[in-house]
Structure 1
Amino acid sequence: MPEFPFRRAFCLGRRSAAGIAAAAVAALALTACGSDTGSKADSSAPSSGSFEPVTIEHAFGKTEIQEKPTRVVTIGWGSTDAMLALGVVPVGIEKQEYGGDANGVLPWVADKLTELDAQTPTLLPSANSADPAYEQILKLRPDLILAPYSGITEEQYGKLSKIADTVAYPKQPWSTTMEEIVTVTGRSLGLADEAERVLADIDATVAKAKAEHPEFDGLTIATLAYGSNELYTYTQADPREQVLRDLGFETAPSVLDLTKTADPGAFYVPFSFEQADRLTSDVLLTYSASEDELEALEQNPGYRSMPQIEAGTVAKVVGEAEVAAVSPPTALSVTWGLPELVDALAEAATSAS
């Protein structure tokens, strides 16, 4: 499997479920009576009148939020950005090792915190092949946990729900669109109207880029990620594919054919180096975490056999932060990473026209 920075393969750790649940209940009782040992930055939201109770449906049922959340923890990808775009600072966020700075803070998140004159929230360990940081989350005394774009399991959701109201993804893990993340976050915080305005601004940004590049319209596109043993393409279930369609591209038929070999709802499809020439398209978009990774891809015989290489219609996004910004984009990263993505696509599209 490739280095998918935002698709955390959550699984149970070595501690027993019963042990974690018991510790959570005990700690919750203590913190409810104790002093504030939580984040340096409480959640704060713009005034929007009285809060109306809301019910959020998701893959594991329904979450009823009766009172306006004031201490929110985010898990996974995108919900931190959605909150900040709405002017609300979480009390706890997961570190983002891929694309983040030495502390695990993404550049567009750091920029927005500075704009809001807010301190960095408490940084939680990223749940990479592990459980969410239950005990540390508990210490923050959240009244809401947002995980609309994550990979939490039903068991993990159950344990998080013992700590605070928890909102999971709508249907499939790691497949929630940016629009859904912003909408769910806005509804959960009582800021649905503000969320609509955030989305309208994003739509306008993407629409402007599309209008400036009519050469994108109707061209087919495929995405490609490099693994040490395989290549990967993203399916239409993946949000990063959606932004390419929003820019005017069409998903290549070869991607749809490969998707038939994957599990239902899969966001990516692996295939061997020897099958690389099956991934045909007018434009090929590659994601590489570094120049070294790009060089390894370009030296691969399977990659060199692809027709887009000879045609000169390959767009390249290189660098962890650059890849993170557009794969998939968030309420904050879309404006941070879109210009570089569009420039790369424009060069490839011109060669394909």
Structure 2
Amino acid sequence: MTRATRVLAASAALAAGLAACSAAEPAPESSTPAAEDWSPVTIEHALGTTTIESRPERVATVSWANHEVPLALGIVPVGMAAANFGDDDGDGLLPWVEEALTELDAQAPVLFDETDGIDFEAVADTAPDVILAAYSGLTQEDYDTLSEIAPVVAYPETAWGTSWRDMIELNSAGLGMAEEGAALVAELEEEIADAAAAAPQLAGTSAMFLTHVDTTDLSEVSFYTTHDTRAMFFEDLGLTVPPSVAELSAQTDRFALTHSAEQADAFDDVDLIVTYGGEELVAALEADPLLSQMPAVANGAIVSLPGDGPLGTAANPTPLSISWVLEDYVALLAQAADAGA
């Protein structure tokens, strides 16, 4: 039995009567526990306060990965964002989402094309009772527009800075399934702890996640701050935040920053680097007279993830992707940590 199957079974036991249905059917409805058990839910977030007066029967989600919370809890949304990064077969669904739909014996719901931002008309067409967006970059204008359609669960503090735990907590609360959400968090924490324990070389190793590296111009270094979920996930796995990254992150609420390569010596405290790219990128870093002096580069302690595939996508942890990628990701990190030791 897979982790997703165990979670679905536990959710069914906690909330009898859960039944998923596909949005491909006429007038689809995403089933949630019995309405008579509902008490109004009020959720405070960065863009306001949302009160959900009655149990939502039709759940829509926007932005990255929010749909994974209802899916993990046995609910198929009536509409959700299509994957626009890491989609290996072009169907708008990442593999762990496809697996969840298969386990629920459900077809894919309506997929919103968010290439140019939120498709408000498409969301409205699904007639949702609630819109989940706990992990998102919604503007106040986006939030206000969506709120005219249905109550919206937005991010708690920082745009694109919601941890996977908070994503589950907020979105499950919006479904009236806070208890089930807490159980899901606990199970994932146990799974992550077991994986980290099996790779003791990660403990105390400082890690930095480089992003948008241009091999034709290495005059600048861009990296994810501690406000980004990729960097947050390092700490879940026993890795530490380099003081240099922590100091720069404390000066902003942005999820990424850019630093001059001439100041690459500021990152002398980085033991391990994770980035998106292939052998060409690693070779470029090793050949650069400035960046090659960073300990992680000099020691070959680099994890280079495919930016256009599921593995690279799952480095940004989400409720369903964590189990799907954990073993492979930890193995790559451990290999890099050994190289830098």
TM-score grouping bracket, smaller chain normalisation: 0.7 to 0.9
| Residue matched to 2:312 | 323
For the residue of structure 1 that corresponds to 2:210, the secondary structure is strand
Matched with 1:5 is none
* Deviation at residue 272 of structure 1 after TM alignment: 2.8
Give CA-to-partner distance per residue, 1:133-192, whole Å, 9 cap, x none. Answer: 111111111111111111111111111111111111111110011111101111111111
- Which amino acid in 1 is paired with 2:261? F
Say which is worse superposed, 167-176 or 220-229, in terms of deviation.
220-229
Give yes or no for contact 2:270–2:294 (8 Å, CA) kept in 1.
no
State the 4+ residue runs in structure 1 displaced beyond 4 angstroms. Answer: 46-49, 289-302
Look up the match of 1:109.
97
State whether residues 235 and 266 of structure 1, in contact with CA within 8 Å, keep that contact through their aligned partners in structure 2.
yes
Shift in Å at residue 305 of structure 1? 3.5
Question: Which stretch of structure 1 is more off in the superposition, 221-230 or 190-199?
Answer: 221-230
1:146 aligns with 2:132: yes
2:275 to 283, 287, 311: 287
For 1:108-257, list aligned pairs within 5 A. Answer: 108-126=96-114, 128=115, 130-228=116-214, 230-257=220-247
Q: Secondary structure at the match of 1:326?
A: coil
Letter in 2 for 1:156: D
Q: How far did 1:91 drift?
A: 0.7
In structure 2, distance between residues paired with 1:71 and 1:150:
20
Residue 42 (structure 1) aligns with: 29
Listed as ranges, the matches of 1:51-66 within 5 Å are 51-66=38-53
In the alignment, which of 39, 61, 74 is matched to residue 74 of structure 1? 61
Shift of 1:295: 5.7
1:343 to 2:316 alignment: no
Answer yes or no: is the 8 Å Cα contact 1:146–1:167 preserved in 2. yes
Q: Calculate percent identity across the aligned residue pairs.
A: 37
**Offset at residue 337 of structure 1 (A):** 1.4
Structure 1 residue identity aligned to 2:312: V
Residues 71 and 141, structure 1, Cα contact 8 Å, conserved in 2: yes
Tell me, yes or no, if the aligned pair for 2:112 and 2:119 is still in contact at 8 Å.
Answer: yes
Letter in 1 for 2:247: D
Judge conservation of contact 1:59–1:171 (CA < 8 Å) in 2.
Answer: yes
Deviations 1:241-292 (A, max 9, x none): 22211211110112123335x5x21111111333334323353232215566
Alignment size in residue pairs: 311
Q: Counterpart of 1:322 in structure 2: which amino acid?
A: L
Cα distance between partner residues in 2 of 1:153 and 1:319? 26
Question: Judging changes above 3 Å, is the alpha-carbon distance between structure 1 residues 281 and 318 closer, same or farther for their aligned structure 2 residues?
Answer: farther
- After TM superposition, the structure 1 stretch with the greater mean CA deviation from structure 2, 291-300 or 61-70, is 291-300
Shift of 1:351: 2.9
TM-score, structure 1 as length reference: 0.81
Give the direction of change, closer, same or farther, for the CA distance of 1:115–1:294 in structure 2 (3 Å limit). farther
**Cα displacement (A) at 1:319:** 4.1
Gaps of 5+ in 2: 1-22
Q: Give the Cα–Cα distance (whole angstroms) in 2 for the partners of residues 266 and 233 of structure 1.
A: 11
> What is the CA-CA distance between 1:99 and the residue it aligns to?
0.7
Q: Deviation per CA, 1:325-346: give whole Å up to 9, x if none.
A: 112x001001111112101111
Give the TM-score, by structure 2 length: 0.84
Structure 1 counterpart SS, 2:76: coil
- 94 and 222 in structure 1: CA distance in 2 versus 1, 3 angstrom threshold: same
Distance 2:277 2:38 in 1: 43
Q: 1:293 to 1:109 in 2, by over 3 A?
A: farther
Which amino acid letter does the alignment assign opposite residue 286 of structure 1? V
**What does residue 15 of structure 1 align with?**
none
